[in-house]
């Protein structure tokens, strides 16, 4: 019997420290050389350029400043001045940093409102991507990605599993074939949405109560068929904006 191949779709974590671990006992050696802000249609990105991988060990929304995302920067030796913001860029109003008494730097990202966010690691860049709520989909970008796919046949969404691992939830979808995930966020009520393009749902719609780690429930259904794309949709109903990962 062949084993099913699982595509991990989403991991909702309460704190980033569980993902990256702590490096507070190591000497600060990392040079943070540049901080850029890249606003786009569906998200706003903060791009941190460093001379070596940046081991972020914690992010959280400050209770005293509810719309401010705090990012711990362990092992960072120097931090440049944040880019001046004469006008708002996407959901970002301001960026500042502070050196704490333990010698670690903290980055403060002041937002117009709390939003779901993820962190993408690249060779010399760490990208904090903040989802713009109720943003218009970038159909041109979606079409370009679909055109570049080698396999244009429909993938089949066969199963969904939920596991609790190291104080986090891991949701895995069993998918046969090549799918194109597209993530966006909606509010009233707050939802994180993952559209799976060129994907057909092979089972009846799902509505699963979770009520853990800020995730109220998960829904899965066939959003549309050949109009012009076939899309299976996963919806994560959230209690509040939080960190997520997509693999």
Residue 91's contacts (CB-CB under 8 Å, 6 or more residues apart) are 44, 111, 112, 113, 115, 130, 132, 133
Tell me what pLDDT residue 228 has.
87
Tell me what pLDDT residue 4 has.
40
Tell me what pLDDT residue 126 has.
95
Six-digit token string for 162? 């939920």
Helix (H, G, I), strand (E, B) or coil at 233: strand
Q: Are 46 and 35 in contact (CB under 8 A)?
A: yes
Tell me what pLDDT residue 16 has.
28
Average pLDDT per consecutive 10 residues, the chain (247 residues; last block may be shorter): 42 34 63 92 93 87 89 91 78 92 91 93 92 88 81 86 82 87 93 94 94 91 92 94 86
* Backbone region of residue 242 per phi and psi (left: phi > 0; alpha: psi in -120 to 50; beta: other values): beta
Domains and CATH numbers, the chain: 6-13+135-245 (2.60.40), 17-131 (2.60.40.3500)
Indicate the pTM of the whole model. Answer: 0.85
> What sign has the CA pseudo-torsion 164, 246, 223, 91?
positive
Tell me how far apart the alpha carbons of residues 6 and 74 are, in angstroms, rounded to a whole number.
34
Tell me what pLDDT residue 199 has.
93
Tell me what pLDDT residue 246 has.
84
Tell me what pLDDT residue 132 has.
94
């Amino acid at each position: 019997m062949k084993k099913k191949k699982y595509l991990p779709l989403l991991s909702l974590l309460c704190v980033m420290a569980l993902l990256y671990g702590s490096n507070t006992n190591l000497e600060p050696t990392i040079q943070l050389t540049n901080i850029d802000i890249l606003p786009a249609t569906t998200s706003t990105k903060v791009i941190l350029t460093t001379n070596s991988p940046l081991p972020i060990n914690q992010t959280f929304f400050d209770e005293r400043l509810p719309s401010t995302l705090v990012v711990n920067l362990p092992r960072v030796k120097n931090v440049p001045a944040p880019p001046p913001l004469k006008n708002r860029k996407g959901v970002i109003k301001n960026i500042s940093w502070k050196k704490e008494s333990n010698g670690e730097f903290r980055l403060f990202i002041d937002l117009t409102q709390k939003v779901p966010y993820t962190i993408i690691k690249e060779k010399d860049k760490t990208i904090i991507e903040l989802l713009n709520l109720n943003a218009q989909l970038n159909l041109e970008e979606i079409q370009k990605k679909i055109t570049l796919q080698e396999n244009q046949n429909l993938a089949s969404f066969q199963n969904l599993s939920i596991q609790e691992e190291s104080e986090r939830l891991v949701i895995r979808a069993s998918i046969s074939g090549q799918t194109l995930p597209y993530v966006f966020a909606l509010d009233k009520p707050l939802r994180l949405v993952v559209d799976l393009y060129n994907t057909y749902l092979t089972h009846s719609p799902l509505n699963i109560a979770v009520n853990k780690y800020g995730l109220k429930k998960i829904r899965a259904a066939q959003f549309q068929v050949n109009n012009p794309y076939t899309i299976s949709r996963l919806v994560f109903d959230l209690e509040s904006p939080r960190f997520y990962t997509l693999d």
